[in-house]
Amino acid sequence: MSTTSLRDVAATTTSVHSTGVGELDRVVGGGFIAGSTTLLFGEPGVGKSTLALMSLRELAADATPVLLIAAEESVAQVAQRARRLGDVPAGLDVAASTDVDVAERLLRERRPTLCVVDSISAMSDDALGSTAGSVPQVRHVAERLCSVAKETGVALLIVGHVTKDGELAGPRALEHLVDTVIRIEGDRHGSLRLLRALKHRFGPTGEVGLLEMVPDGLREMPDATVLRGPELDVPGVVFTVTNDGSRSFLIEMQALVATGSGSPRRVAHQVSSQRLSLLLAVLESRCAVDTSDLDVFAATAGGLAANEPGVDVALALAVASAALDFAVPRTLAAMGEVGLAGELRAVSGLTRRVREAQRLGATRCVVPSDGELEEVPGVEVIRCRTLAQAIAVAQ
């Protein structure tokens, strides 16, 4: 067998091609890699086909050869979809087929820069006995398409479905076959959509992409300023900043306490119910804020989950503010983890958090007494050792 000079190959191949969607580029580290296969999966209706079509449209508009293999919809249905997104560029070629032989032939003949297969569950190889969508079929079809992509240098994007309970019946079976796995997730009733890379052979996986479902498709949110509720000066609302990948998001934490009947309820939405329980115990034992007989509801406004410890203080402050009936100024943001002794613990990336809070209108930030923090102009930093001190400051 002959060998190849890696230098010659490296000099002649252009390996990365923008996906045409900035938030997707961010998650895959710049773009699709020629010859690689990316799996995009998520629940039905979350926006997989829309996102894939956005990418195809952008690339086609830029005269990049693209191809959509539509296995679930007719060409007319795809055309209708594309019109919903705006003008349909020339060069957006579609083939409606569920036959992997057809798909393979098209890839070899056309060699598009990007080929989308929507969805892998609807594709099949007749030679294989099992029905489309079964694990053996999905795996077999994906395997064939992956190797053709590798051989032809086509960047392949395959769409996969997943149901809430049957988590990843298909996609899990594919994870080891493909190079990159992207999940698109979002609250069914909300408009926010998050992109995350769960596996990435060619880059880091920590990045998050943000999109918003709007009537005519998905809108990119490079700047997430909409994660706030309307401006109401009510008790129980506290701002914080959470770090996710290289991004920082301002989050509005909301809490409500109410007199319940029977055993008190604790309802946590988009925040960790375990953290909420812990914080209620700390509030009671260390801060004399007793909610043991009350119903407590906690949530974020805007639909982004806040599950990391850095949002503890804000969550605890929101409950204290609701329980003690005082409104926290909207110009104050609070960041820090809360320990069982009622102490505030340092959190990572504090400077980044304070900067984002300042950018979005905070003039005062409650932060733990420990932890590195560069000076951020326009913000008064209030170092607190304990949650009780933070409550006193916020009042």
Please report, as ranges, the residues that interact with Mg ion according to CB under 5 A.
Answer: 49
Considering the complex, state which of residue 84 and residue 265 has its C-beta at the smaller distance from ligand TYD: 84
Closest residue to Mg ion using C-beta atoms: 49
Report the nearest approach of ligand TYD to the CB of residue 208 (Å): 18
Considering the complex, state which of residue 36 and residue 49 has its C-beta at the smaller distance from Mg ion: 49
111 binds, among ligand TYD, Mg ion, none (CB under 5 to 8 A by kind): none
Considering the complex, state which of residue 73 and residue 104 has its C-beta at the smaller distance from ligand TYD: 73
Considering the complex, state which of residue 46 and residue 250 has its C-beta at the smaller distance from ligand TYD: 46
Report the nearest approach of ligand TYD to the CB of residue 51 (Å): 7
42 binds, among Mg ion, ligand TYD, none (CB under 5 to 8 A by kind): ligand TYD
Report the nearest approach of ligand TYD to the CB of residue 161 (Å): 7
353 binds, among Mg ion, ligand TYD, none (CB under 5 to 8 A by kind): none
45 binds, among ligand TYD, Mg ion, none (CB under 5 to 8 A by kind): ligand TYD
Considering the complex, state which of residue 181 and residue 238 has its C-beta at the smaller distance from ligand TYD: 181
Helix 387-394 vs helix 273-287: crossing angle, to nearest 10: 90
Q: Do 257 and 296 form a contact (C-beta atoms < 8 A)?
A: yes
81 binds, among ligand TYD, Mg ion, none (CB under 5 to 8 A by kind): ligand TYD
Considering the complex, state which of residue 77 and residue 205 has its C-beta at the smaller distance from Mg ion: 77
300 binds, among ligand TYD, Mg ion, none (CB under 5 to 8 A by kind): none
Report the nearest approach of ligand TYD to the CB of residue 130 (Å): 23
Report the nearest approach of ligand TYD to the CB of residue 257 (Å): 34
Q: Do 384 and 378 form a contact (C-beta atoms < 8 A)?
A: no
Q: Which residues bind ligand TYD (CB under 6 A)?
A: 42, 44-50, 81, 84
